[in-house]
Structure 1
Amino acid sequence: MSIRPQTLPKARAQTIQRMLGLHDKPNPFLRGNDEGVTGRIVSHLRAAELYWVSEDMAALAMSSGSQLAAARWATADRPSPCGLIYFDGGVGTVQVSGTMSGPVQALAWGPSPDGTLTVTHLMTREHFMGGAQVPFPEAVPPLVAIREARLPVTVEPVPFVDLPAHEGMKPPLPIVSALAAAWHLMQQPQLVERGSVEPGKADARSLRRSGLPSDPVTLVSLRRQYVPQAREGEPSGSRVYRHRWVVSGHWRDQPHGPERALRRKTWIPAYVKGPDGAPLLSTERVNVWRR
C-alpha cells in the first residue's frame, strides 16, 4: 500500500515514535549501522521538510538522473537542509540483507557528524514485511530504514563514480542520481508544479498532542503540458531546414544569478524541431510518454 500526501506526516511521526523505542540501539532493520544511527535518523526526520513526488515525476527523475555524471550535495543545492521525499512508484532497489533486495520508496537526508550528507534509503512497512521474518511486526515503522549513503559536501560537483563507499558499500548510483535530478527538477517551475497538502484534521490534532511535527507536504508533479521557452540551435540567417526531427531530453547548464555568472542544471525536455508541416525524419524510434 502506497503512502498518500495527506498521510505522509502521520507516517513520518509513527516512524519517529517506533524508532525512539529502540533507545538509540543499532537499528535492527538497517544493514550495517553504527551505534548512533537511530538518533541521527530520528533527528533528520524531525527536522525534515516533506515532499511527495508523483509517479510520472519519479520516472522523470530516474530517467534524467541517468544522464547526470556528477552532483553537488551542499545545503544550497538541496530544497531544504533536511528532508523526507516519498516517490510514488519508487526509485529502484537495493540489497537489504543476504540475497534479499527491496524497493526504495523514500529518501531522508540530513547532515552527518563527519561533515558529509547522510541519505537514508527507506522502504514501506508493507514491502518490508512481505520479504522479511520479523518477530515483533507491530514494532516495524511505516517507513523502514534499510540503507545509508554518505555523500561528500563539496564546492565542486563530485562524479558519481567517485562517490566513496560507506561501511563497505558504494552508494546505489541510480538512486542517488535520481535524488540529485529531483532536486534540480524541483527548481524548474515551467516544468514542475509544486503544491501544498495539509495532513488530515484528525491526524494533525493527534500529531500536535504528541508534540510531533504536523507540517504540510510539498506535492511535486509534472505540468500537464510543457512548451520549451527557448530552443537550442534554431535556424538562423539563410539556412533552411526541410525536415523536422526529435531532439532528445537533456541537461543544460543554465546561466543564472548576478550577471548570469552562475550555472544551474536545467532539464530540457524532448521536443520536435524544424519547420511546421515538414516531414518528420524517422531514422530513430521515438518513444512517446503520455500522462
Structure 2
Amino acid sequence: MIDHDMACRTCGYALTPIHRDGRVTYEHPVTPDTDHPTIAVPAHQRPNLFRRCHLCSIHQPWWEYHTDDAPIIVEAAGDTLTVAQRYSSRWHVCGACADLIETGDQPALTRRSLAVLGLSTDGLAAQILGGLHQAILLARAPGRTLITTGIWPATTVRPPALPRIRDRLTALLRGPVGLPHPLADHRARRHIADGLDQGQFTWIDGEFTDLVEQVAEQLPDTPVTTRIVPTGVSLLTWAHPIGPHHLDAASWTRHHDGWRIVAYRTINADLPAPTLTALRHEVGWLIPVHVRDIPHGHTITAQDPLAPLAATWLIIAQQLTRDDTVAPEAGLRRSYHRARRHTPDIRIVRIKPAARRIAATGGTGGRAQPTHRYWVSGHTRHQAYGPGRTLRRDIPIDPYLKGPDGAPIKASTTVRILGDHH
C-alpha cells in the first residue's frame, strides 16, 4: 500500500513516511521541541491538516527530495540567544519550487520564500534561508519521488483518450521518476506496466458509476476469485471519482496466488501552462495511490478502499450491463499505425435497459417485486446434478444485487434514486 497519509495529532502537520527495513516511521519536516512528540494519526482525522510546500508554504507539494541522512541544522545567533533548528532529510516541494531546484537557482528559490513571508531580501532572515536552500541543493540525492497522498483536483477521462493516458502511465512506471513504497521497486513497476500493455480498456459510464457509488457503501463481504475478476482488462476507469478515496481508475495483474491491484487518481493542477505541460509529459494523468496484493479468496468489505472496484466486478459478473465500443482518437490511431502497434479496443460498460435486465435475472416469477434494491450476501447452494439430478454438490454464489431497476438503494442513512423521476 502506498497511501500512507498521516498527520501529527498535536500540530496537524502532514508527516513524512520513512521506510527502513520493512518498517514505516513518520517524521515532522522540522523536528519539534521535546515536549511535542510525533503522534501519527490518519490525515483525514485532522480537519485542520497543514499540507504545504516545505520551502514556500503556499502550494500543495508534488515532489519529495531526499538530502543526506545526516540532518540539516540551521543556527541563528543573536546577542544573548542562539537558536538551532533541525530539519528532516525529506523535503516536500511544490511544482514551482521544484522547477527552481531542478535548475539550481538558489537565489530565486530564496526570493520566492521571502516574498511569501513578507521579509526583506537583505536581512538576517534572507541569509538564514539562503544558507538553508544552498544546503538543500548541495546535499540532495539524485532523483525525486512523486508524492501520491495529496487530494488533487480531478480531471475528466474521455474514453477515446484512454490509450494515450495508458501509454503515459506505463512510461511513468518504467521511467526514472521515483514512486513511494512498494512501487519504489522497479521490477514491480515493470510488471504492472506489462499488464497495462495487454488487454482492453473498460470505461464505466456515468449511470453505472453512480450505481456503484451507492451500492459500494453497503457491499457485503466479497471474496475475490476468478469468478468475479474480469480477464483481458488492462485498465478500468469510472466516469467520475468514486468512493471516499476519490478513485478514478484501477488495474490488476495476475500473480500465481492472486492479483496485484493498483488504484489510481487523476491529477489536475492550477499551474502555469509550461509547468503543467512538463507535468503531463513526466507524470501523465493518472497516479497510483493504493497498491495491494490480494490472494485468491481474500475478502473485501464495504470499508475497504477497493470496495467500489469489487462492486463494479460483481455487477458486471451479474450480467446487468451491456457493452459498446468506441474508437481511439484519430491522432492516436495514426500514431499507433506508424509505430505498427495494434490499435486497442475501448469498451464502454453501461447498465442494461430495464426490460433486458429483468430477462437476465429471470423475471418476477409471479411474486411481488421488492420496493428496494439490496445486496444478497454470498452463500452456497446445494445443487442437484448428474444422472437424473440425483447427485448433490455445494456451489458458491457470489454476492449479487437484487431488486427492480430505478428503485432506491436500501441503505442505513441515505436513499438516492437512479433513473427518471416521476
TM-score, length-normalised on structure 2? Answer: 0.49
Aligned to 2:160: 6
Aligned to 2:193: 42
Aligned to 1:89: 240
Distance 2:268 2:289 in 1: 14
1:75 aligns to what SS in structure 2? coil
- Kindly state the Cα deviation for residue 129 of structure 1 after the two structures are TM-superposed: 7.7
Aligned to 1:247: 372
Aligned to 2:367: 234
1:290 aligns to what SS in structure 2? coil
Unaligned stretches of 5+ residues in structure 1: 95-102, 162-171, 236-243, 274-283
2:402 corresponds to which of 258, 262, 268 = 268
Unaligned stretches of 5+ residues in structure 2: 1-154, 386-392, 408-412
Higher relative contact order (CA 8 A, sep 6+): 1
Report how many aligned residue pairs link the two structures: 244
2:306 aligns to what SS in structure 1? helix
2:204 corresponds to which of 48, 53, 74 = 53
Native 8 Å contact 2:222 2:399 kept in 1 = no
1:120-168 C-alpha deviation (Å, 9 max, x unpaired): 11122326989xx99x6230122222221111113xxx3335xxxxxxx
Distance 1:81 1:215 in 2: 12
Provide closer, same or farther for how the CA distance between residues 286 and 110 of structure 1 changes in structure 2, counting only shifts above 3 A.
closer
Aligned to 2:336: 207
| Residue 187 (structure 2) pairs with residue 33 (structure 1) | no
Native 8 Å contact 2:243 2:308 kept in 1 = no
Native 8 Å contact 1:10 1:207 kept in 2 = no
Native 8 Å contact 2:219 2:375 kept in 1 = no
Native 8 Å contact 2:252 2:259 kept in 1 = yes
Aligned to 2:263: 121
Provide closer, same or farther for how the CA distance between residues 63 and 93 of structure 1 changes in structure 2, counting only shifts above 3 A.
closer
Q: Percent identity?
A: 15
Aligned to 2:313: 183
- Mark the structure with the bigger radius of gyration: 2
Distance 1:175 1:270 in 2: 27
Aligned to 1:144: 287
RMSD: 3.9
- Kindly state the Cα deviation for residue 6 of structure 1 after the two structures are TM-superposed: 1.2
1:237-273 C-alpha deviation (Å, 9 max, x unpaired): xxxxxxx972333336697x99496434432234699
1:197-253 C-alpha deviation (Å, 9 max, x unpaired): 121333122124335552111111123435634348926xxxxxxxx9723333366
Native 8 Å contact 1:61 1:178 kept in 2 = yes
- Kindly state the Cα deviation for residue 290 of structure 1 after the two structures are TM-superposed: 2.4
| Residue 300 (structure 2) pairs with residue 160 (structure 1) | yes
Native 8 Å contact 2:406 2:418 kept in 1 = no
